[in-house]
Amino acid sequence: MMLDPNRLGDYMSPMYRAAWALCGSRHDAEDLVQETFVNVLKRPRFVRDGNEIGYLLRALRNTYSSRYRSAVRKPAERQLFEDDDPAAPFTEHGISSRELMEAVASAPAPYRDAVIAVDLVGLSYREAAHSLHTREATITSRLHRGRQHIARVLTEATTAAA
């Protein structure tokens, strides 16, 4: 039996309730139901035993799972504002943002790239390795060496200033 596109409106309420239970948010549930209906209507579907609601709920769950997996793979994004100061923890030690950025810039390129990707941009080790075309273990060692270099430069700067 073919899924009847004209009867999808009959299933709006149970689909919405199920989506809300999955998402926990009214707005996300609305988006999920709409996306599920778009996926279902892309091409004609055969439904076994006339169980349209069962098929639609499976499609809803699969759409939710696909959205979740793709969201996990994307790095978290955060908008930066003018008053954001990456050196805020260092100001109590007398280190300015400029000194911190100069210390990062003075690191050798592979170490600097790893520190920027993980510590400043906020990528995971896996994401940083993928974007820098290297292995995750290499990112770990470069990050360690880069942090050591930056700490050494900052320590020398504070002892020279004192």
Q: What is the mean pLDDT, run by run of 10 residues, along the chain of 162 residues?
A: 74 86 86 89 75 83 87 67 56 70 89 89 87 92 94 84 64
DSSP 46: B
Output b/e per residue, 97-132; b: 16+ Cβ within 10 A: eebbeebbeebeebbbbbbbbbbeeebebebbbbeb
The pLDDT assigned to 79 comes to 62
What does the pLDDT look like over 141-150, one tens digit per residue?
A: 999 999 999 9
Q: What's the pLDDT at 162?
A: 62
Q: Can you give the pLDDT at residue 26? A: 85
Count of CB atoms situated within 10 Å of the CB of 88: 9
The pLDDT of residue 147 is: 94
Task: Please state the separation of Cα 85 from the chain's center in Å.
Answer: 22
| Dihedral (CA of 96, 102, 106, 107) sign | positive
Backbone angles phi, psi at 158, to 5 degrees: -75, -35
What's the pLDDT at 149?
Answer: 94
pLDDT computed for residue 152 by the predictor: 92
